[in-house]
Structure 1
Amino acid sequence: MTTPLSKRSLLKMGGWAALVATAALVGCSKSETEPAAGAASEAASVAAKSEPLQIAFAYVGPVGDAGWTYAHNEGRLAVEKEFGDKVKTSIVEKVPEGPEAERVIRDLVGQGAKLVFGTTFGYMEPMLKVAADHPDVKFEHATGYKTAANMRTYDARTYEGAYMAGVIAGSMTKTNTLGVVGSIPIPEVIRNINSFTLGAQSVNPKIKTKVVWVNAWFDPPKETEGAQSLLNQGADVLFQNTDSAAVLQTAEKAGKYAFGWDSNMSHFGPKAHLASAVINWGPYYIKATKEALEGTWSTGGVWWGVKEGAIDLVAMSDAVPAEVKTKVETIKAGLKDGSFTIWKGPIVGTDGKEVLAAGATADDKFLGGINFYVKGVEGSVPSSK
Structure 2
Amino acid sequence: MGNNRSRNILIISGLFVMLLIAVFLIYNGRRRDYDERIVGFIMNGRIDGNGWNAAQYAGIKEACDDLDIKLLVRESIEEGTGKCREAIEELIGKGAGAIVLLSYNYVQEADDVIKANKNIVFYTTDAESIADNVIPYFSRLYQARYLSGIIAGMETKSGKIGYVAAMDNSEVNRGINAFALGVQRVNKDAVVIVKRTGSWENKSEEVAAADKLIDAGADVLTCHQNRGYSIEEADRKGIYTIGYHSTPEDVSDKMLTSIECDWSAIYSIILSEYCKGTSGRQNHYWIGIEDGAVSLSSYSDDVTDDMKTEVAKAKDEITGGRDVFSGVIFDNKGELRCMRGETMTDDNILNNVDWLVKGVQLYEE
TM range (shorter): 0.7 to 0.9
Identity in percent: 27
1:124 aligns with 2:112: no
Instruction: Kindly provide the amino acid, as one letter, of the partner of residue 287 in structure 1.
Output: I
Pick one of 316, 325, 329 that aligns with 1:347: 329
SS of the aligned residue for 1:191 comes to helix
Alignment correspondent of 2:7: none
Alpha-carbon distance in 2 for matches of 1:158, 1:143:
14
Pick one of 274, 277, 284 that aligns with 2:266: 284
1:335 aligns with 2:313: no
Alignment correspondent of 2:299: 316
Alignment correspondent of 2:230: 247
Describe the superposition over 1:304-333 as per-residue Cα deviations: whole angstroms up to 9, x where unpaired: 111112211111111011011111122222
Describe the superposition over 1:272-299 as per-residue Cα deviations: whole angstroms up to 9, x where unpaired: 2110111112122122222232333316
Matches within 5 A, 1:152-163: 152-163=135-146
Alignment correspondent of 1:178: 161
Indicate conservation of the 8 Å contact 1:260/1:273, yes or no: yes
Instruction: Kindly provide the amino acid, as one letter, of the partner of residue 87 in structure 1.
Output: I
Alpha-carbon distance in 2 for matches of 1:128, 1:77:
26
Describe the superposition over 1:153-182 as per-residue Cα deviations: whole angstroms up to 9, x where unpaired: 101111111111100000001100000001
Gap regions ≥5 residues in structure 1: 1-47
Indicate conservation of the 8 Å contact 2:55/2:263, yes or no: yes
SS of the aligned residue for 2:295 comes to strand
1:68 aligns with 2:52: yes
Matches within 5 A, 1:1-385: 53-83=37-67, 86-98=68-80, 99-263=82-246, 265=247, 267-298=249-280, 300-338=283-321, 340-368=322-350, 369-379=352-362
Gap regions ≥5 residues in structure 2: 1-31
Name the CA shift for 1:177/1:272 in 2 (closer, same or farther; >3 Å). same
- Between the two proteins, the alignment pairs up a number of residues equal to 328
TM-score in terms of structure 2 length: 0.85
Alpha-carbon distance in 1 for matches of 2:331, 2:312:
28
Runs ≥4 in structure 1, deviation > 4 angstroms? Answer: none
SS of the aligned residue for 1:70 comes to helix
SS of the aligned residue for 2:173 comes to helix
SS of the aligned residue for 2:284 comes to strand
Instruction: Kindly provide the amino acid, as one letter, of the partner of residue 109 in structure 2.
Output: P
Alpha-carbon distance in 2 for matches of 1:377, 1:65:
32
Q: Which is higher, the Rg of structure 1 or of structure 2?
A: 1
TM-score in terms of structure 1 length: 0.81
Indicate conservation of the 8 Å contact 2:332/2:358, yes or no: yes
How far the C-alpha of 1:64 sits from its partner, in A, is 3.1
How far the C-alpha of 1:222 sits from its partner, in A, is 1.4
Indicate conservation of the 8 Å contact 1:118/1:140, yes or no: yes
Instruction: Kindly provide the amino acid, as one letter, of the partner of residue 347 in structure 1.
Output: I
Instruction: Kindly provide the amino acid, as one letter, of the partner of residue 101 in structure 1.
Output: C
**RMSD in angstroms over aligned alpha carbons?**
1.9
How far the C-alpha of 1:266 sits from its partner, in A, is 5.7
Indicate conservation of the 8 Å contact 2:148/2:242, yes or no: yes
